[in-house]
């Protein structure tokens, strides 16, 4: 009997979380092995590890508690990766040397798999004097381009590109350039971007007052606050960025306001963090805790919830001690405050099982009650941990009890904290759960509504045939299991049919009992009026949200699946029940098989100023009478090159083996530039050693007749063969090629394979 509720769940586990040897041999024979691996690793910090291993296993079993992907994939593997999801880098100094020191730290963090946030408000504006060099500053946006290029180059652990968040204060002189940056569809693609909006600015917007843009005590410009607000809103309306972070509210509501100031968040916004701040994530699967779903006695087992939360808090607290960290400053910050981010997923499914319409006042009240119960159980568990193991090192009883969420906790919880302290300074957060929700049987993601109740997933097999499987929302499958083909009740609503104000209502209800923040996307219809769109953000501010992220289909980021209310559905459209038809993409599900022997060529590449040469071997396979590149090997005696050459070898070979026109790899490599400078080779400037490798592969492709000449490679990855070209589609998934990308919890996520830039 399989533990997986759906084929896609097992596929996600196999692709993303199953522990394998370097040669791809699975070490986790089953998902039970994965749960056991995580439980054993997190119990290592306990005085009685055997006892807690069993408790932790029980929490993980049947997907009740879902540690975030970093923990699920990395715990117990001995890999050099961090189990923490979220980092905010140190304050960026306003100096060239300091800026590039920060770039190095960011690269090291991203190499281990962390998502990173930065505040670029500390860099002087474009045109400001640079003392000592008789020059004008290039401004923060120019350095953001360098960060963006770095992120494109470095592949995060777990075969996922790093995600980044850039913030800038609403009073920085370059704020208008920051707001407009992503109007260019090719610029800053590795960043999510948000404006740090202050209470003073919001009051100026309401009063239609003036607003000073300043840096270092110097006023550069004065604008009308409402004009600047409209500029932010117009950019978000047109291309979904920047988001808005209500930074004063975040700092005022912070349990640690007495010892830290926050100016940035992690990439999806659910973790506002101080310089070098780090946090780990995990989610309670609410859908698994409902008894008698859709029945008269349908209820969420709150006793089981409280017990599960307590075990989850203990497990996550142990991760602080067993995890690796990219930087010593991050370890010190994490251990001084012991932040954890326990959240939920499957909330919309749980509401459906109780017969509640997501977005209604009743659903919002129920959500608030559940999140209150989770906060209560989490803080009580952390107080008991403090009694057993000690409070977090920076705990100040009087200051802690009088600030943040703590002052609103139940009296007995505050009494426990007053007596014992608390182990974890902050405990709750609602993170993006797109991939782990698929892994748990396609439960609804985080506190988001159900996006689509079912859709068809199509995969091209090695023999040329296509398989087709229906992917069904967890609650919908429960309904079918109980009532067969009976029509779904009217309270079954999805992200497309909800009013934006319903989304805000749910976010605000959850935020009351979340001490960090919430990753949520407020879906807006394409035809929403601009004034109505602005109202969404003002409502979010007035109802106590810490930030706001919307998604309206647009020309820059593309559209997502839309819901049609029409009874008749044209090919490629979507029925009113959220079932998508047509518009498929087909792709290879398995790589090409490797013959016993291959022919190849080895090239010697000598990079100027490098002591050792790089040797690059390209082996080819003959298919259909045509020779094509199949794998590469990159070797050097320079041990500083070892990690990235191995990574590049594996990644390029993986792309080559999937078939199709892979010449885009050449163009991607040739576009990489090194911020330290390139080199002149054979009379031509090469921007980086990676670009030089791309040039070698390009020459090989020309020599074997795979491409016609220099510069003749594809400029981008075609991903897949597309059928039904007239169907309305958004962006293809960069991992599997399916047109199933959806804006969920502030991040574009693929419903077909689980790929997400953010997690």
**Highest averaged pLDDT of the listed ranges 265-274, 361-370, 623-632:** 361-370
Please list the residues that pair with 270 across neighbouring strands: none
CB atoms within 10 A of CB 593: 8
pLDDT in tens, 309-346: 999 999 999 999 999 999 999 999 999 999 999 999 99
Q: Model confidence at 68, in pLDDT bands (50, 70, 90)?
A: very high
Q: Model confidence at 734, in pLDDT bands (50, 70, 90)?
A: low
In a domain? residue 565: no
Structural domain count, the chain: 2
pLDDT in tens, 93-133: 999 999 999 999 998 888 777 789 999 999 999 999 887 66
pLDDT over 90 (residue 719): no
pLDDT at res. 581: 37
In a domain? residue 420: no
Yes or no: say if 558 and 205 are a contact pair by the CB < 8 Å rule: no
pLDDT over 90 (residue 242): yes
pLDDT over 80 (residue 383): yes
In a domain? residue 651: yes
Q: Model confidence at 641, in pLDDT bands (50, 70, 90)?
A: confident
pLDDT at res. 730: 56
Residue 405, preceding peptide bond in cis (omega within 30° of 0): no
**Highest averaged pLDDT of the listed ranges 158-167, 360-369, 489-498:** 360-369
pLDDT at res. 150: 83
Average pLDDT over residues 173-193: 91
pLDDT at res. 35: 98
pLDDT over 90 (residue 592): no
Average pLDDT over residues 387-395: 98
pLDDT over 70 (residue 735): no
In a domain? residue 44: no
What would the two tokens of residue 86 be? Answer: 């979220």
Q: What is the dihedral of CA 380, 385, 388, 394, to 10 degrees?
A: -110
Q: Model confidence at 758, in pLDDT bands (50, 70, 90)?
A: low
Yes or no: say if 92 and 469 are a contact pair by the CB < 8 Å rule: no
In a domain? residue 455: no
pLDDT over 80 (residue 656): yes
Q: Model confidence at 710, in pLDDT bands (50, 70, 90)?
A: confident
Last residue of a domain, one of 265, 297, 329: 265
pLDDT at res. 716: 65
Q: How far apart are CA 475 and CA 443, in angstroms?
A: 7
Last residue of a domain, one of 654, 684, 703: 703
pLDDT in tens, 449-496: 998 888 877 654 555 556 777 889 999 999 999 999 999 999 999 887
Name the residue among 240, 239, 112, 244 with its Cα closest to residue 175: 244
Least confident of 398-402, 449-453, 483-487, 621-625: 621-625
pLDDT over 70 (residue 591): no
Say if strands 155-156 and 218-224 run parallel, antiparallel, or are unpaired: unpaired
Q: Model confidence at 636, in pLDDT bands (50, 70, 90)?
A: confident
Name which residue leads in pLDDT, 759 or 600.
Answer: 600
pLDDT in tens, 536-550: 999 999 999 999 999
Average pLDDT over residues 355-374: 98
Residue 551 to residues 21, 232, 268, 360, Cα–Cα distance (Å) = 40, 14, 14, 21
Rg over alpha carbons for the chain, rounded to the nearest Å, is: 26
Name the residue among 165, 145, 142 with its Cα closest to residue 264: 165
Residue 472, classed as helix, strand or coil, is strand
Last residue of a domain, one of 658, 679, 703: 703
**Above pLDDT 90, what percent of the chain?**
60
Q: What is the dihedral of CA 639, 645, 646, 651, to 10 degrees?
A: 170
pLDDT over 80 (residue 349): yes
Q: What are phi and psi of 411, to 5 degrees?
A: -60, -40
Q: Model confidence at 673, in pLDDT bands (50, 70, 90)?
A: confident
In a domain? residue 437: no
Least confident of 174-178, 329-333, 659-663: 659-663
Q: How far apart are CA 49 and CA 27, in angstroms?
A: 22
Instruction: Note the pTM of the prediction, 2 decimals.
Output: 0.78
Q: How far apart are CA 692 and CA 44, in angstroms?
A: 46
Q: Model confidence at 582, in pLDDT bands (50, 70, 90)?
A: very low
Q: How far apart are CA 200 and CA 322, in angstroms?
A: 42
Least confident of 15-24, 69-78, 257-266, 319-328: 15-24
First vs last C-alpha separation in the chain = 29
Q: Which domain holds residue 607?
A: 599-703
In a domain? residue 379: no
Task: Tell whether the torsion through CA atoms of 57, 75, 149 and 134 is positive or negative.
Answer: positive
Yes or no: say if 592 and 659 are a contact pair by the CB < 8 Å rule: yes
Name which residue leads in pLDDT, 705 or 355.
Answer: 355
CB burial of 260-271 (b: ≥16 within 10 Å; e: otherwise) equals: bebbbbbbbbbb
In a domain? residue 50: no
Q: Model confidence at 587, in pLDDT bands (50, 70, 90)?
A: very low
CB atoms within 10 A of CB 739: 28
Q: What would the DSSP string read from start to end of 287-316?
A: GGGEESTTSTT-EE-HHHHHHHHHHHHHHH
Average pLDDT over residues 16-33: 92
CB burial of 132-156 (b: ≥16 within 10 Å; e: otherwise) equals: eeeeebbbbbebbeebbbbbbbbbb
Task: Tell me the catalytic residues.
Answer: 266, 268, 270
pLDDT over 70 (residue 11): yes
Q: Considering only the C-alpha atoms of the chain, give the largest distance between any 2 of them, rounded to a whole number of Å.
A: 79
Average pLDDT over residues 717-736: 49
Residue 736, classed as helix, strand or coil, is coil
Long-range contacts (CB closer than 8 Å, 24 or more residues apart) made by 357-360: 357/490, 357/491, 357/493, 358/449, 358/450, 358/493, 358/498, 358/502, 358/506, 359/449, 359/493, 359/498, 359/499, 359/502, 359/503, 359/505, 359/506, 360/502
Mention every residue, 6+ apart, whose C-beta is less than 8 A from residue 691.
Answer: 669, 670, 671, 672, 673, 678
Mention every residue, 6+ apart, whose C-beta is less than 8 A from residue 443.
Answer: 285, 287, 288, 345, 346, 349, 437, 473, 474, 475
CATH classification of the domain holding 176: 3.20.70.20
Helix, strand, coil percentages for the chain (3-state, nearest 5): 40, 20, 40
What would the two tokens of residue 701 be? Answer: 């492709």
Q: How far apart are CA 171 and CA 194, in angstroms?
A: 13
Name the residue among 316, 294, 291 with its Cα closest to residue 303: 291
């Amino acid at each position: 009997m399989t533990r997986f509720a759906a084929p896609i769940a097992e596929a996600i586990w196999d692709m993303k979380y199953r522990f394998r040897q370097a040669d791809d041999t699975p070490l986790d024979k089953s998902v039970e092995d994965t749960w056991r691996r995580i439980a054993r690793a997190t119990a290592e910090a306990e005085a009685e590890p055997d006892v807690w291993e069993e408790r932790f296993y029980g929490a993980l079993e049947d997907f009740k508690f879902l540690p975030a992907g970093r923990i699920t994939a990395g715990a117990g593997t001995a890999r050099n990766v961090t189990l923490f999801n979220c980092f905010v880098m140190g304050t960026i100094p306003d100096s060239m040397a300091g800026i590039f020191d920060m770039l190095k730290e960011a690269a090291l963090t991203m190499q281990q798999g962390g998502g990173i946030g930065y505040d670029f408000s500390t860099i002087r504006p474009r045109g400001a004097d640079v003392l000592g060099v008789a020059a004008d500053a290039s401004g923060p946006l120019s350095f953001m381009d360098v960060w963006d290029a770095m992120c494109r180059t470095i592949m995060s652990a777990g075969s996922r590109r790093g995600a980044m968040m850039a913030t800038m204060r609403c009073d920085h002189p370059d704020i208008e350039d920051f707001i407009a940056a992503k109007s260019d569809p090719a610029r800053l693609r590795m960043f999510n971007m948000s404006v740090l909006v202050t209470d003073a600015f919001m009051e100026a917007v309401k009063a239609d007052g003036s607003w000073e843009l300043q840096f270092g005590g110097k006023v550069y410009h004065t604008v009308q606050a409402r004009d600047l607000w409209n500029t932010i809103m117009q950019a978000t309306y047109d291309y979904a960025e920047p988001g808005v972070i209500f930074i004063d509210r975040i700092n005022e509501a912070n349990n640690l306001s007495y010892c830290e100031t926050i100016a940035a968040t992690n990439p999806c916004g659910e973790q506002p963090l101080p310089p070098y701040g780090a946090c780990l994530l995990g989610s309670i699967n609410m859908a698994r805790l409902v008894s008698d779903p859709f029945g008269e006695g349908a209820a969420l087992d709150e006793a089981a919830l409280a017990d599960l939360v307590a075990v989850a808090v203990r497990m996550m607290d142990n991760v602080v001690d067993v995890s690796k960290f990219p930087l010593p400053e991050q370890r010190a910050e994490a251990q001084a405050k012991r932040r954890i981010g326990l959240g939920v997923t499957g909330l919309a499914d749980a509401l459906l099982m109780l017969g509640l319409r997501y977005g209604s006042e009743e659903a919002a009240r129920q959500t608030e009650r559940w999140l209150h119960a989770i906060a209560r159980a989490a803080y009580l568990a952390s107080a008991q941990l403090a009694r057993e193991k000690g409070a977090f090192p920076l705990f100040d009883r009087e200051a802690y009890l009088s600030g943040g969420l703590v002052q609103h906790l139940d009296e007995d919880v505050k009494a426990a904290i007053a007596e014992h302290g608390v182990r974890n300074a902050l405990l709750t957060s609602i993170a993006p759960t797109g991939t782990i929700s698929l892994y748990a049987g396609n439960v609804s993601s985080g506190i988001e509504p159900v996006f689509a109740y079912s859709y068809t997933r199509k995969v091209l097999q090695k023999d040329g045939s296509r398989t087709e499987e229906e992917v069904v929302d967890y609650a919908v499958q429960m309904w079918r299991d109980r009532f067969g083909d009976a029509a779904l009740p009217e309270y079954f609503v999805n992200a497309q049919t909800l009013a934006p104000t319903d989304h805000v209502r749910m976010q605000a209800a959850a935020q009351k009992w979340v001490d960090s923040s919430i990753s949520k996307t407020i879906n807006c219809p394409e035809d929403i009026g601009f004034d109505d769109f602005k109202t969404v953000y003002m409502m979010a501010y007035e109802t106590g949200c810490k930030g706001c992220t919307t998604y309206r289909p647009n020309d820059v980021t593309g559209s997502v699946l839309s819901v049609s209310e029409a009874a008749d559905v044209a090919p490629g459209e979507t029925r009113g029940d959220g079932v998508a038809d047509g518009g498929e993409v087909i792709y290879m599900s398995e790589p090409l098989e490797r013959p016993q022997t291959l022919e190849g060529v080895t090239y010697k590449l000598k990079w100027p100023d490098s002591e050792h040469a790089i040797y690059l071997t390209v082996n080819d396979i003959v298919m259909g009478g045509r020779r094509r590149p199949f794998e590469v090997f990159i070797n050097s005696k320079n041990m500083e090159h070892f990690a990235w050459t191995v990574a590049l070898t594996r990644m390029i070979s993986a792309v080559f083996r999937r078939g199709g026109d892979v010449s885009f790899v050449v163009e991607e490599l040739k576009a990489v530039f090194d911020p330290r400078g390139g080199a002149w080779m054979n009379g031509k400037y090469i921007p980086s050693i990676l670009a030089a490798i791309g040039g070698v592969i390009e020459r090989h492709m020309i020599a074997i007749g795979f491409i016609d000449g220099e510069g003749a490679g594809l400029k981008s990855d075609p991903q897949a063969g597309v059928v039904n070209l007239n169907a309305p589609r958004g962006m293809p998934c960069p991992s599997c090629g399916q047109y199933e990308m959806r804006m969920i919890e502030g991040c574009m996520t693929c419903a077909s394979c689980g790929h997400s830039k953010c997690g």
